[in-house]
Structure 1
């Protein structure tokens, strides 16, 4: 993955705020950070979800920069439709990775306020993807994206799915 100034800016604006700054502020104001108690099941479960989510995000950002010749940011989108790798199984793996991280943080800190943030982000991202992002991709990539959309599910991979 090539770390360009545009990519660094994109990573600071979205993921760092969504998965870092906002959760830290929630923990700070809810005072859950000071009350954290190590419990094996929530800690291990939360950390596993966070690691899996970050790995998915890393893979998807790498595909955007290396294959798509762009970034995840709307102001510098990929120039080529990214439909390889994990994108051959689901259309929105990056968002899935963010959801994993947010749910992992919620479980790790057992914080109801974090759960509220997860649901706000979850439903907000579903709205943005279905209303704005998919329309934008259809406008930019035309029939190529429409065919991809017909063959690859949005969020949950098909069990017997053959990659596009």
Structure 2
């Protein structure tokens, strides 16, 4: 593996574990950890399978976006190490923020699988925080970095879905 590609791979792995890993893995686990033993002691019901399906769809979307950020954008998912090129292919043809859609689907899948009010409240809070971050930080930075290309992209593609 070339040093530049290897560095980009390692940076993406680090930021994936750090950001969506904590948001969709560690924090939800900490919220429901006391319920997990009893949850797995019983046979699965329909909502468990539905939750797994939603979670898996979110994971596929998230993975695709991370790969596109590295291969097409030449950067990472982190605002601290952003892409060098505007990514507009794949799922980015349908949503300007499919990575966040993927994160939200993972969280919704977890909340459907383990229906705890605290997990639903956390999921809603994450969506609000992400929305505020996208509107106040990401979009202005992208306008500044990519100018007219980003403006045209915004005219063609919705923010979410």
Is TM-score (shorter-chain normalized) higher than 0.5?
yes
2:29 pairs with 1, 24, 27, which one? 24
Counterpart residue number, 1:104: 109
**Higher mean displacement: 33-42 or 66-75:** 33-42
Q: Offset at 1:71?
A: 0.7
Aligned length: 154
1:33 pairs with 32, 36, 58, which one? 36
1:133 pairs with 132, 138, 149, which one? 138
Q: Quick one: distance in 2 between partners of 1:12 and 1:125?
A: 18
Change beyond 3 A, Cα 1:38–1:102? farther
Q: Offset at 1:96?
A: 0.3
Matches within 5 A, 1:1-164: 4-28=9-33, 31-36=34-39, 37-156=42-161
RMSD: 1.4
Give deviations 1:122-160, integer Å, cap 9, x for gaps: 11101101111000100100111011001100111xxxx
Give deviations 1:18-47, integer Å, cap 9, x for gaps: 01100110012xx22122144421111100
Q: Offset at 1:66?
A: 0.5
- Specify the SS of the correspondent of 1:60: helix
Query: Unpaired runs of 5+ in structure 1?
Result: 157-164
Q: Offset at 1:116?
A: 0.8
TM-score under structure 1 normalisation?
0.89
TM-score under structure 2 normalisation?
0.91
Q: Quick one: distance in 2 between partners of 1:98 and 1:38?
A: 27
Is the contact between residue 47 and residue 113 of structure 2 (CA under 8 Å) also seen in structure 1? yes
Judging by fraction of residues, say which structure has more helix.
Answer: 2
Is the contact between residue 9 and residue 70 of structure 2 (CA under 8 Å) also seen in structure 1? no
